[in-house]
Amino acid sequence: AAAIVYEAENAVIVSGAVESNHAGYSGTGFVNSDNVAGAAVEFAVRQPAAGTAVLAFRYANGTPGARPATLTINGTTHSTISFATTGAWTTWANTTVSAPLNAGANQVRLTATTADGLPNLDALTEGADGGGGTPGG
């Protein structure tokens, strides 16, 4: 099945702004969260049938340290994603996780767990693989 790209600049942003000053992003920009714990980005991911989906988060972290975030799916904590350094704010990488999604709309939310906030977030690609059926319906 084809992958669906959800641009972070179209997501719900809690404590952050859409910016475009670091090259290499897709779409029209990326989300620069405020450097605070609790900064969050929530994507609305649609899925035609319940099942496991592969979620790939594209991000940049130009600092030496990781920028951990809690991944919450439909209000339930799923995991912590570390968002390791990418070496530069213009170097973008994907980190991938498998997660259960419901049929219909799903709230896929990343919340920063430290005072560094989130990494810069470019996009979420859903359904590159996985058994949840054709994404995006």
CB of residue 60 to ligand GCU, shortest distance in Å: 8
Residue 29 vs 133, nearer CB to ligand GCU: 29
The item of ligand GCU, Ca ion, none sharing an interface with residue 89, based on CB under 5 to 8 Å by kind, is ligand GCU
Those residues whose C-beta lies under 8 Å from the C-beta of residue 129, and which sit 6 or more positions away, are 54
Residue 117 vs 135, nearer CB to ligand GCU: 117
Give residues 79-108 in contact with ligand GCU (rule: CB under 6 A): 89
**Phi then psi dihedrals of residue 85, to 5 deg:** -55, 145
**42-81 mask for ligand GCU (x: CB under 6 A)?**
---------------------x------------------
Length of the chain: 137
Size of the residue set binding Ca ion (CB under 5 A): 2
* Residue among 76, 58, 72, 60 at smallest CA distance from 110: 72
- Whether 82 and 120 have beta carbons less than 8 Å apart is answered as no
What are the respective helix, strand and coil percentages of the chain, to the nearest 5?
A: 0, 50, 45
Q: What is the contact surface with Ca ion in residues (CB under 5 A)?
A: 32, 117
Q: What is the contact surface with ligand GCU in residues (CB under 6 A)?
A: 22, 32, 35, 63, 89, 117, 120
